[in-house]
Amino acid sequence: MSCQYNLLFLFLCGFAALSVSTETRGKDLLEGTSYIIKLTTRNNEKPSEIKWIHDTRGHVLRWKGGKIREISEGVSMEEDGSLKFSSVSLKDTGKYTFNAYNDAGAEIGKGEVEIKVYEKAPKPAVKIICTKNGNATLTCVIGKREDLTLSWYKEDKMIQNENKLQVFLSSTEVQENKPYSCEAHNPVSSNKSDSVTVSCNEMKAVGDEVSFQLDKIVPPSVTNITWKHINSVRTVKAIEWEDRDTTIPNPIFKGITTLDTATGQITITNLTVEHSGVYTIDINGKEQEQRFTLTVMERVPKPAIKIKKMTDNPGVVYLICEYSETIIWRNSAGETLTGSKPIHPKGEFINVTKGGNPEIFYTCTLQNTVSEETSDPVYERDLFKGEMLDGH
């Protein structure tokens, strides 16, 4: 072979030795998962020296002459020289480069891989803030997580896929009483909040307690806080704090109303129907945007089932549950039974046909928005024995 061809051969060999493939890619990983960054060499040649380097932490692993000379916690080396993470953590985020050499010290492998490790997305919560004119602002509460993006849903249909913490609803949208939810997600996980039905009306039963609090902190410079109660007839002061003295001007709030002057929160215990209405707060004489609507309802009474026997059909009786609230019929198996049209102006009935099982029983439950009560059970064995009389 001529000198010219010898020189060409040496040039090509040298070029091949320097032309080591460089791999650059990205990988998103969930914290706690295992992962292997593959090491590749020219022609799958077995290296005698390997270096794995993190872009900010320096050497992660050094292996030479069959021995590990340096290694970071949480990693190990596979038989082929690949870098294995048993459980990735946030600190493992970054770029990793590897260099592989043969016995002669020639580089036979080189590459770069970037990984990003993320925490699992938390379950968010939807906070509702009602404002003047019946409008509302929904806030997706996710804590201090900058890696998350958000989506908003109305009745499980996406309405906004922008990374916004808040959604504004007009009074018309609030009155629809539709469920809303938000979803937090990053490249490796997602989590959706519980659905909340947007309503600016707090529903309570007589005897309950309620608290209203601003969505912002009351500054220390405040010297006057006044909560007002508005109903269809008039506006009155519920409680007032001024110059460190607290007064309760209106008698329906005395003895049951307290004010936290640090947060502005008002708490009313032992509620009555009279406490229904709209509540607003003035701070240093200025009315705030937030307002709260409260409806207090009477609790339903415990119903009693009345029995009516039909003279033309002794194998059938009618069970009558009175009152106009929602009525739920159930049998002993817990099955909900469909009621018929009322035969009493304040009630609902079902007909029961003799079935031969004396242990079956029936109950009815009165229910409104804030309470429910269930009757004592009526057994079939008591419905079809002897002479049946009206009433029970």
For 284, the 3-state DSSP assignment is coil
CATH code 3.40.50.720 for 125-197: no
Q: How confident is the model at residue 162 (pLDDT cuts 50, 70, 90)?
A: low
pLDDT at 118: 95
d(CA 57, CA 60): 7
Which CATH architecture group holds 306-383?
Sandwich (2.60)
Which residue has tokens 């309760």? 248
Tell me the per-residue pLDDT of 318-351, one tens digit each, with 9 for 90 and over: 888 876 566 666 777 667 665 544 333 345 677 7
CA distances from 250 to 222, 247, 256, 275 (A): 23, 9, 11, 11
- Share above pLDDT 70 across residues of the chain, in percent, rounded to a whole number: 84
Q: What does the pLDDT look like over 107-133, one tens digit per residue? A: 999 999 999 999 999 999 998 887 766
The residue type found at 294 is L
Report long-range pairs for 251-257 (Cβ below 8 Å, ≥24 apart): 253/229
Q: How far apart are CA 118 and CA 48, in angstroms?
A: 34
Per-residue pLDDT at 132: 64
3-state DSSP assignment of residue 60:
strand
The pLDDT score that the predictor gives to residue 330 is: 72
**H/E run at residue 172:** helix 171-175
Given a cut of 60, is residue 74 above it in pLDDT? yes
CATH 2.60.40.10 given to domain 201-297? yes
Return residue ranges of the chain for CATH 2.60.40.10. 3-118, 125-197, 201-297
pLDDT higher at 25 or 31 = 31
* C-alpha span between 215 and 283 (Å, rounded): 13
Instruction: Fold for 3-118, please state it.
Output: Immunoglobulin-like (2.60.40)
Neighbouring residues of 3: CB distance < 8 A, sequence distance ≥ 6: none
DSSP 231: -
Average pLDDT along the chain: 83
pLDDT of residue 5: 39
Q: Is residue 135 within 8 Å of residue 170, measured between CB atoms?
A: yes
State the average pLDDT over residues 278-305.
88
| Residue 236, pLDDT score | 95
